[in-house]
């Protein structure tokens, strides 16, 4: 790999760099200490390739910090192209995102964090939608439709059941999630794309 440039020095959980592997651009995500994504999901994604998902190339540890190397989406995040009010373009976004959902869900992967910042244009001309950032995703076992998991969410895009109620004993929030949470988040995302802001913009988690 060769270093190209920094994409973001701080996302809250990681530093992100543009690098190249034999001349082909890819993204190096270096997590801060004590942060790491769901490794079970990454292991699956490294083996599974799909046209509507940002493919995972490699992952591991570098100087005791977890890293992830993934495919580079030249067109950037959808949140960088707001508003998007072309019905045909929105229809294509829905079609390709749902296509990715069907693939993930068939392999027991629930994304759990769909939003304009995690949908990307694969090509520089703003075409070909791919989903990325599976950092808080959950895995379903064969035959499962829901999974109990810890609360990890983006306020405003998470479905109602993801907010949960804290256990009085230890204060921890446990929630049950299923495939439907991804479709709810996609609906909120479409409103955001159209009006260039979240429908819950300015509201705190209690108001939502």
How confident is the model over 65-73, as a mean pLDDT? Answer: 95
How many whole angstroms from its chain centre is CA 14? 14
- In the chain, DSSP finds a helix count (H) and a strand count (E) of 3, 12
Which stretches does DSSP call E strand in the chain? 2-8, 14-21, 24-31, 56-62, 65-71, 76-77, 109-110, 119-121, 129-131, 138-139, 146-150, 174-178
pLDDT band at 139 (very low <50, low <70, confident <90, very high): confident
Residues serving a catalytic function are 113
Among 106-110, 136-140, 196-200, the range scoring the smallest mean pLDDT is: 136-140
Residues 1-59 pLDDT 10s: 999 999 887 667 899 999 999 889 999 999 999 888 888 899 999 999 999 999 999 99
Identify the residue with better confidence: 149 or 181: 181
CA 53/CA 55 separation, integer angstroms: 6
CA 120/CA 195 separation, integer angstroms: 18
């Amino acid at each position: 790999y060769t270093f190209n440039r920094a994409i973001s020095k701080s996302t809250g959980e990681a530093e992100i760099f543009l690098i190249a592997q034999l001349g082909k651009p890819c993204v190096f995500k270096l997590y801060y200490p004590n942060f790491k994504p769901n490794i079970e999901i990454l292991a699956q994604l490294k083996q599974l390739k799909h046209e509507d998902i940002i493919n995972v190339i490699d992952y591991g540890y570098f100087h005791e910090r977890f890293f992830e190397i993934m495919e580079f989406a030249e067109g950037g995040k959808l949140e960088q192209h707001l508003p998007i009010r072309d019905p045909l373009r929105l229809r294509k976004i829905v079609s390709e995102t749902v296509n990715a959902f069907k693939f993930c869900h068939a392999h027991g992967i629930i994304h759990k964090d769909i939003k304009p910042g995690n949908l990307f244009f694969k090509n520089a001309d703003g075409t070909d939608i791919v989903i990325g950032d599976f950092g808080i995703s959950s895995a379903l076992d064969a035959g499962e439709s829901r999974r109990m998991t810890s609360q990890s969410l983006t306020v405003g895009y998470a479905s109602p059941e993801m907010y949960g109620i804290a256990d009085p004993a230890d204060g921890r929030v446990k929630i049950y999630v299923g495939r439907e949470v991804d479709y709810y988040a996609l609906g909120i995302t479409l409103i955001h794309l159209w009006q260039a802001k979240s429908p819950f913009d300015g509201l705190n988690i209690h108001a939502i």
